[in-house]
Amino acid sequence: MDKNNFSRPIDIKRVKVTDPFWQKVQETVRREVIPYQWEALNDRVEGAEPSFCMHNFRAAARLNERRARPGFAEPQYTFRGFQTLPEDKDNPDPDRFYGFVFQDSDFYKWVEAAAYSLQNHPDPELEANVDGAIDIICAAQHESGYLDTYYILNGMDGAFTNLKDHHELYCMGHLIESAVAYYQATGKDKLLNAAKRYADYIDQCFGPEEGKCKGYPGHEIAEMALFRLYELTHEEKYLNLGNFFLDQRGAEPNYFLLEEKRRAIDEGRHEPENDPSPYAYYQAHKLVREQEEAVGHAVRAGYLYSGMADAARLTWDESMLGACERLWEDIIKKKLYITGGIGGTAVGEAFSYPYDLPNDTAYSESCAAISLAFFARRMLEISPKAEYADVMELAMYNTVLSGMALDGRSFFYVNPLEVNPAACKTDKRLEHVKPVRQKWFGCACCPPNIARITTSAAAYAFTEREDAVFIHLYMGAQLTASNGMKLTLESSVPWEGEAAVTVHTDEPVSCTLAFRLPGWCKKPAVAGPGGMVPDERDGYAYFTGIWRDGDKVELSFPMDVRLSAADPRVREDMGRAAVTRGPICYCLEQADNGENLHLLRVDAGALDKAVVSETEICGHKMRALELEGFRTELPPEGAPLYSDYAPLKESPAKLTLVPYYAWANRGEGEMSVWVRV
Ligand SMILES: [Zn+2]
């Protein structure tokens, strides 16, 4: 590990995103998603599943008004799994907790997205709204500092008794992330102080000292959040607590097993076996430093690995970095969809076995792709290698964005690579796959997560260190580096591969500008000013020297239409290809190609005839592709199901493909990423 390589995300306050692609996404989030989510968190979206998120905070702060009317009956409630629901959804008990045990986190993610959005685009009305909501959250905080409405409302005796499944530490993680972001955006520290109080309380309860709890979060995120809080405050206790959680995970005796045994004794059940393997779902089956395979719930895994990468950087921990590199390798070599999604199976929303990447039953949760981008960015902060940025870009331009409709009003939780709406409606195995995006979810982790990563996209595009600025993603922007040098980046990515960076400086500045050479481009061309020659390392072109006002670096990344094949170990993709161009993964949709997409075959020998054309879906300009191919002719209706083998009868067909992220914006229909060759 070479500390001299470390870089940190640029402060997004010093970036103005001018990129037409990302500006449009960020404007959609600002105008549609953030206000819409606020309504959803307050249960005011008609036809959407109620969230009860703000209801719970108000209940914990005793701010909900009881409806005093004659004949008021105590409402009934049911506890289903981890979700508490009122019998009568229009008449929830004003003092009771509803929703999932982790419902608080939806609010925190919303605040975090609002904070980034405020940095990109000041909005006094939004800021006032957030401030008002923060007052409610702070009023709900227990005097000890504890802040989780589930136990504040259901009885504090239960606090920290079910770390495995009851997400209190997860909610703290999101609280910290939102509080730091809001403080950085506005300078206001009310939420930050609440977050610190909660973290301090947890620090009093958890740790290596005698008498303290030896547990750790069932759903990770507290680790990376505590490291972020440490980097803001420089208070070592937060660094130590984050490291404690990482080191305890999977340590013997397994804490989750102890917890289950305690519960079994209390409930008079048989104690569970001394077997830690079921805790692979929580990545708690062995010590994190010894983990070699990405397993279990994919979002948890991505958040854990992100925290591990932070720890490796902050404490120069080679063994932690080694684990991160092994886990990264396992994901990208064996468990990554071509769309940048992870988590192949709906069972446990989890990684499946190596090379099991089904297309129609895929889970590929939006949050999981986000967690992969988090992990990739943190690995880039340690070692600038293009492979990390390639995967980060893949996730961000494809699965992260497919999670949200182009108009920002509906969302996917699951991002399949192949959809037949009729199958989704009749086949129980596809129950999790929705052919159209939904307005909201009872478990609404994904929509606010998409909002927070897209509004902070610049922090993924650019990182810097004292003597260098790294351009990882070609996002048009004006930015000011920490050395005061201003840069204007113009880019036609993702639709074309031209980019240029111009330097603005009063005095000559000595530093390095490092440009990623995207893995999707076979012949990148870079040209610096006045004979400056780049030094190429790990997929980055480094220009080092004295920069003067007006100096320019021009980059050209020719984009071919490419057919990609999967490793033949991936059964599902055998004999099929995916079409990509630049960072964008394409798909076939029924809207362009009619039904029965499986009858189509692409002519791999006629790729040079591919036509790239401008198109527009829901007011979003993009490039569509037209490829030469064939369509299998169907025998007449009623033909025998089986007959003697004969080559398929095919007729020539044009295949139209649109970006995967833009699918399902034109009504319900079939979709497929992989096409026969
Ligand atoms: Zn999610």
pLDDT in tens, 427-446: 999 999 999 998 877 778 89
pLDDT of residue 70: 41
**CATH code at 3-65+75-249+287-459:** 1.50.10.20
C-alpha torsion angle, residues 338, 342, 343, 349 (rounded to 10) = -130
> What's CA 620's distance to the chain center, in Å?
22
Q: Is 354 helix (H, G, I), strand (E, B) or coil?
A: coil
Distance CA 291, CA 284 (A): 9
Comparing CA positions, the residue from 134, 171, 176 lying closest to residue 151 is 171
Distance CA 55, CA 416 (A): 33
Give per-residue burial for 164-191: e unless 16+ CB within 10 Å, then b: bebbbbbbbbbbbbbbbbbbbbbebebb
Of the chain, the end-to-end C-alpha distance in Å amounts to 43
CA of 412 to the centre of ligand 1 (A): 9
CA of 403 to the centre of ligand 1 (A): 9
The question of whether 511 is a catalytic residue gets the answer: no
The residues, ordered by sequence, that sit 6+ positions from 506 with a Cβ below 8 Å of its Cβ are 549
Q: Which amino acid is present at 491?
A: S
CA of 371 to the centre of ligand 1 (A): 10
Domain boundaries, the chain: 3-65+75-249+287-459, 483-556, 562-676
CA of 558 to the centre of ligand 1 (A): 35
Identified catalytic residue from 49, 349, 628, 670? 349
* Residues 170 and 219 sit within 8 Å (Cβ to Cβ): yes
Distance CA 133, CA 93 (A): 21
pLDDT of residue 65: 67
Tell me how many degrees the CA angle 583-586-588 measures, rounded to the nearest 5. 180
* Residues 112 and 177 sit within 8 Å (Cβ to Cβ): yes
Residue 275: how many other CB atoms lie within 10 Å = 10
Mean pLDDT taken over the chain: 94
**Are β-strands 77-80 and 477-480 bridged in parallel, bridged antiparallel, or unpaired?**
unpaired
Q: Which two tokens stand for residue 534?
A: 């780049």
Burial of 80 (0-12, 13-18, 19+ CB in 10 A): exposed
pLDDT of residue 63: 83
Distance CA 46, CA 668 (A): 21
CA of 102 to the centre of ligand 1 (A): 12
Instruction: Flag residues of the chain having pLDDT under 70.
Output: 65-81
The question of whether 445 is a catalytic residue gets the answer: yes
* Residues 54 and 133 sit within 8 Å (Cβ to Cβ): yes
CA of 273 to the centre of ligand 1 (A): 31
Identified catalytic residue from 324, 424, 445, 587? 445
* Residues 105 and 445 sit within 8 Å (Cβ to Cβ): yes
Distance CA 626, CA 614 (A): 11
Query: Does the pTM exceed 0.75?
Result: yes
CA of 504 to the centre of ligand 1 (A): 41
CA of 450 to the centre of ligand 1 (A): 9
